């Protein structure tokens, strides 16, 4: 369920918006934190991006290789 937070943001001429400090702190967003965008009907949703394993979609024990993430469990299975 969407919750209004009482902020109205304006899109600038380059398409940027400012996420209020209160929300950045709430979601532990630092400068350059990756966000994933979703659209549904008339909504635009920003979600903190969590990398996932290319093979099993797990978010745990990831190793990045050439821009792709693989979990240690899949690395073990691949090396057999």
Which residues in this chain contact Zn ion in the complex, by CB under 5 A?
53, 55-56, 58, 71, 74
For residue 66, the cross-strand partners are none
| 46/55 with CB nearer Zn ion | 55
Task: Tell the smallest beta-carbon distance from residue 67 to Zn ion (Å).
Answer: 16
Distance of alpha carbon 35 from alpha carbon 18, whole angstroms: 13
Positive/negative CA dihedral, 48, 49, 53, 56: positive
| 22/59 with CB nearer Zn ion | 59
DSSP 27: T
| 24/73 with CB nearer Zn ion | 73
């Amino acid at each position: 369920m969407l919750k209004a937070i009482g902020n109205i943001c304006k899109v600038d001429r380059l398409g940027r918006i400012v996420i209020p400090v209160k929300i950045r702190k709430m979601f532990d967003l630092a400068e350059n934190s990756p966000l994933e965008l979703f659209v549904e009907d008339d909504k635009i949703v920003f979600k903190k991006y969590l990398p996932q394993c290319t093979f099993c979609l797990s978010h745990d024990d990831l190793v990045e290789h050439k821009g792709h993430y693989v979990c240690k469990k899949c690395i073990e299975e691949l090396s057999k």
